[in-house]
Amino acid sequence: MQKYELIKRAKLAASVYRDDVNKRIRVDDIHGNLHSLLTILDMDSQFGDYEKLIIKARESQFMTLIERGFVHEGVINHYFNGDRAHFMSRFRKEERRTSNYWGEEDDILSSVQRLRMDPSLKDTKSSILLAEPGQAEELACLYKEVFQLYPVPLHNPEYIKDAMNNGTIFVCIRQNEQIVSAASAEINFQYKNAELTDCATLPLYRKGGIMKNLIAKLEEELLSREIFCAYTIARALSYGMNAVFHQLGYEYRGRLANNCYIFDKIEDMNLWEKNLGQ
């Protein structure tokens, strides 16, 4: 089960995402008494199967979380209407804290960062479409073919329709009478940021540069909605996806250890950010 919950107590308001699939709790926002929230979450996690607690913290909350045993995994500099969000984590199990691939991922990152910036786009010989709810079935088929596992239920067309109805933008490319590649931008209208996510391309159509075109199209759509903070959480083991964002001018902001189940196992995820207003 995955669900959002608004926790309200005296001098406390927090948006909490309980994610049973990925065995984690994520706090997307907190106002008020941080110590009170941590007490609630400590009690709650004792009864659940959660292995990781993630808090998107403001600058003023940083040291309190360090004092409470959290580790700093990354930052998005313009997340809260231009202010920083620190990704702070605490782990309940040693195996959830320890990554088997960290060295390999460091090598991939170094290799990616040696690439020259290349915002140029290739001719895809087909148009990029803004997907509509009527294409949810096709999108679900694409995601089912590309990802054996995924952090959210993209294999379910109804989930995709709900995401669209709540402001998430999906873009896609059709070739040979099917959707061969897609990506989305999940917009946080309150804080004027967007997570670029759900990037998938059928194996036959990879290495043609079409994902860069999709990301560029999403950036255009975000700018038209006055959203200037764009970020992504990319598989740290994926050279291709990290290269796409690096070449489009995104900057590396950290790595989230054993963050979610994706592709075929639980994986570390790299944070990348771009200020679209520059």
The answer to whether residues 55 and 106 belong to one domain is no
pLDDT digits over 37-92, tens only?
A: 999 888 765 557 899 999 999 999 999 999 999 999 999 999 999 999 999 999 99
The answer to whether residues 128 and 61 belong to one domain is no
pLDDT over threshold 70, residue 124? no
Give start and end residues of each alpha helix (H) in the chain.
34-47, 62-67, 94-97, 102-113, 136-146, 157-165, 210-224, 239-247
pLDDT over threshold 60, residue 224? yes
Smallest CA-to-CA distance from 260 within 235, 223, 227, 231 is with 235
The answer to whether residues 115 and 86 belong to one domain is no
Question: Taking a C-beta distance cutoff of 8 angstroms, is the pair 200, 184 a contact?
Answer: no
The answer to whether residues 181 and 45 belong to one domain is no
The answer to whether residues 92 and 160 belong to one domain is no
Which residue range(s) make up the domain with 11? Answer: 2-97
The answer to whether residues 41 and 168 belong to one domain is no
The answer to whether residues 125 and 60 belong to one domain is no
CA–CA distance from 32 to each of 7, 38, 193, 253 (Å)? Answer: 11, 12, 22, 27
DSSP classification of residue 117: P
Total domains present in the chain:
2
Residue 69 token pair: 């045993």
Question: Taking a C-beta distance cutoff of 8 angstroms, is the pair 250, 270 a contact?
Answer: no
The answer to whether residues 113 and 222 belong to one domain is yes
pLDDT band at 162 (very low <50, low <70, confident <90, very high): very high
